[in-house]
Structure 1
Amino acid sequence: MNETTITAQPGTPFIEVVREFDAPRERVFRAWTDPELVPQWLGPRGMTVKLFELDASPGGSYRYIHADDRGEYGFRGVFHNVVPNELIVQTFEYEGAPNQVSLETMTFEDLGGGRTRVHGRTVYTTVESRDAMVASGMERGLRDSMERLDELLTR
């Protein structure tokens, strides 16, 4: 079974996420960038996702809302670099904390044998901003998203 590793070292303004998938790199990258597929896996279980925009190209942007019986939570960002099947560099902003923008880099590594490792690194402007994101329950959302993506890729 594939496990999601989330690392947030004390005193550093970043979070690292690593997950391996039993799927070729092209399929994993497509699931990450295809507007039809992203809503099927992004976000915590028990929440719906409404994707308003997803243009995974340099200068493109995205916006989506997670919703449950407690409310709606909007997120947005801009793609700065996209190298198909290899790299995504984008900003990430929770609309409930405007102007707290982080920079995310995701690499897609072909492990051979139809397996892929995704390595994500999110850099926050301050350690406090990073800690606030960790305290928000972000870890559950990340783990659920990676499990749901794994389920989508094995279908």
Structure 2
Amino acid sequence: MSRLFEAPARLVFAAFTQPELLVRWYGARGWSLVECDVDLRVGGRWRFVSQGPEGARMVQAGVYRHIEPARWLVCTELFEDQSYPGETLVSHEFTELAGRTTVTTTLRYATAQGRDTVLRYPMTRGVGQSFTRLADLLRSPMTTRGEQQ
């Protein structure tokens, strides 16, 4: 998956890694992060608890495997309820050109069955809506430490 954002890579990377920014964009329309824990270091853990329509709840967690600020972010991802079975390896590459950043996300599923399960769910729609929320956030005035780095 790829998406172009009208912002420098340092800000886009910050939005992917800072809880105070993640809670402002992460999730499909109607969903919000109600818990967001990030230990941004190789071997550090992350955990997101999302709440959606009619009280639906989704918990994702994983471990950071590779971090290059404003360039790469690689982590594992596991859904607590196993709605998407197995541990997925998620890689985000941030490529900046002329102040605009393309994020290319690669997902490697543990099994073909896990991949097929994800493709049956509305993941594409959810990721698209989430990235639209991120694009809106990146256009808004941001007064976070991400801007200061």
TM-score where L is the length of structure 2: 0.88
3-state DSSP of counterpart to 2:70: coil
- Structure 1 stretches (4+) deviating beyond 2 angstroms? none
Tell me how large the CA RMSD over aligned residues is. 1.3
Which residue does 2:39 correspond to in 1? 55
Structure 2 counterpart of 1:131, from 89, 112, 116: 116
1:148 aligns with 2:148: no
- Give runs of aligned pairs for residues 52-131 of structure 1, distance below 5 A: 52-68=36-52, 69-97=54-82, 100-112=86-98, 114-131=99-116
Q: Deviations over 1:33-67 (max 9, x none)?
A: 11100011111111121224111221111111111
Larger helix proportion of the pair = 2
Q: 1:25 is aligned with what amino acid?
A: A
What is the number of residues matched between the two proteins?
A: 138
Which residue does 2:22 correspond to in 1? 38
Structure 2 gaps, min length 5? 141-149
Distance 1:35 1:71 in 2: 21
Larger strand proportion of the pair = 1
TM-score where L is the length of structure 1: 0.84
Q: How far is the alpha carbon of 1:140 from its aligned partner?
A: 1.7
